[in-house]
Amino acid sequence: MELSFLGAAGEVTGSCTLVRHEGGSFLVDCGLFQGGRDAAMRNVRALDLDVKQIDFVLLTHAHLDHSGLLPRLVALGYKGPIYATRATVDLLGVMLLDSAHIQEKEAEWTNRHDRARHARRGWDVAPLYTVEQARLSLSRLRAIDYEEGFEPGRGVRCRFRDAGHILGSAFIEVDLAAQGALRRIVFSGDLGQPLRPVLRDPEFVDHADILCIESTYGNRAHRQMAQTMDELTYALQQTLKRDGGNVIIPSFAVGRTQELLFVLADLVRAGRIDKLQVVVDSPMASAVTALTVKHEELWDDETRELYRWAQHHTDRFHVRFVEDVEESIALNECRGGLVIISASGMCEAGRVKHHLRYNLDRRECAVVIVGFQAAGTLGRRLVDGARYVTLFGDRVPVRARIYTIGGLSAHADQPALLGWLRHLRLPPRRVFVVHGEMTAATAFCDAIQSALGWPAPLIPERGQAYVVR
């Protein structure tokens, strides 16, 4: 067998692994590169292979850094099936079309505003893929239940197991016949943090000959959930009850928004907050929340009980979903009393920028940051204490309080990753540490050796082929 890591090697995004074996070849994930000035060009060049030679694709989950190049794969000529869990298939129906719409709009903006460069080159910038190409990729999806064994190709048997990361996320067990022997490769995808709201905890794997394990937070431990709840309670009480302002929470539409809703409901049910008026201003977040409710079978028992409570106590915990643009604009007239959850999570685009424009310069308001903010983003500038930011061409003073709340990450931290690995009966023959920046991946390799006593894992190089036996 031969494994080639086409992305997420020494970095977080672009997850895509090519597996060649006696019976053919397949991909595990097909994700976008995100962040950095060269991301657009890297995405154009990412699938530099004969896609018609790929027999099938296995998908761990719907986040775009794992799925966002599927439309391009199909546009380049791939005609095979794409296997994913049922919830992942549902999410992709929302996310890939939205991603394609953004690709089209960005290309349109570039062609309209960069006329000088357009005149020099004599041709328009094309989108990475179109909405129609995204629709074509959706037609290749095949829904598989958790724990259902299936055979997507000759000599290959697979099973999706619950990874507890986002709705529908899975780690994948792949059994391959190689030189008369059976070898199991396990692809972790992204693993969730145990004891978090909404989803069930990750399942465990007990055997792997070859393991590809993520390391997004392989160099750190998350803040405890109890401390996170204390910090969030304080921010809400200070802003809503004492000062009478609004609380703006930039949040990713998939996973984070749904978790936040349940966390806020739990604070009210526990009596730590009297009542809350919550507005979710993100069409995608609304759609994903509806899908989350549809797949209630994937929730943990505590979340199921909390959902029933919230349905019967709308006088204390009221949630309004805003999709219409005019209704979103009308929120700017509300001077206090609202918790507004809006995308994007790093404040780089979307409706949250409008809410920041109308609330950042007000001392009675607050912005609550609940997720990682990449360098160079507006969210990172707020976290780093910027006194002024630019929004829609205007210089806006930052007078609102900025709270940074940790502990809500959907990724397992180092202790949780090591705990997951401890369920393996024997060390795998080969361990590849992927989906982490070099500092995190290197620290996690060291932790595996020191805590588990395993042989040195490998951080693969992008594009390098590794023969495994």
The predicted-structure confidence for 156-195, as pLDDT tens digits, reads as follows 999 999 999 999 999 999 999 877 789 999 999 999 999 8
The span from the CA of 321 to the CA of 324, in Å, is 9
Tell me the two tokens of residue 74: 């199909």
Q: Which two tokens stand for residue 262?
A: 């349940």
Q: Express as a percent the part of the chain with pLDDT over 90.
A: 80
Q: What is the mean pLDDT of residues 373-401?
A: 90
CB 431 within 8 A of CB 457: yes
Residue 348's contacts (CB-CB under 8 Å, 6 or more residues apart) are 377, 378, 379
Cβ-based neighbours of 406, under 8 Å, separated by 6 or more: 222, 223, 228, 231
**Could you tell me which residues come within 8 angstroms of residue 235 by beta carbon, excluding any fewer than 6 positions away?**
247, 366, 368, 401, 403, 405
Is it the case that residue 119 has pLDDT exceeding 60?
Answer: no
The pLDDT tens digits of the residues spanning 349-386 come to 889 999 999 999 999 999 999 977 776 789 989 999 99
Spatial CB neighbours of 197, under 8 Å, sequence gap ≥ 6: 259, 262, 263, 266, 300, 302, 303, 306
Give the closest residue to 191 by CA, choosing from 70, 66, 305.
66
Q: Over the stretch 73-115, which tens digit does the pLDDT of each residue have? A: 999 999 999 999 999 999 999 999 999 998 898 888 777 776 6
- Residue 303: its pLDDT value, please? 94
The β-bridge partners of 465 are: 4
Model confidence at 118, in pLDDT bands (50, 70, 90)? Answer: low
pLDDT of residue 386: 95
Sign of the dihedral through C-alpha 111, 117, 123, 126? negative
What pLDDT, on a 0 to 100 scale, did the predictor assign at position 120?
59
Q: Residue 192: which of 217, 211, 223, 228 has the closest Cα? A: 217
Q: pLDDT at residue 315 above 90?
A: yes
Strand partners, 119: none
Residue pointed to by tokens 């996310």? 95
Q: Please state, in angstroms and as integers, the Cα–Cα distance from residue 445 to each residue in 219, 333, 453, following that order.
A: 9, 52, 11
pTM: 0.90
Least Cα distance to 27 among 185, 247, 147 occurs for 185
Q: How far is the C-alpha of 248 from the C-alpha of 243, rounded, in Å? A: 14
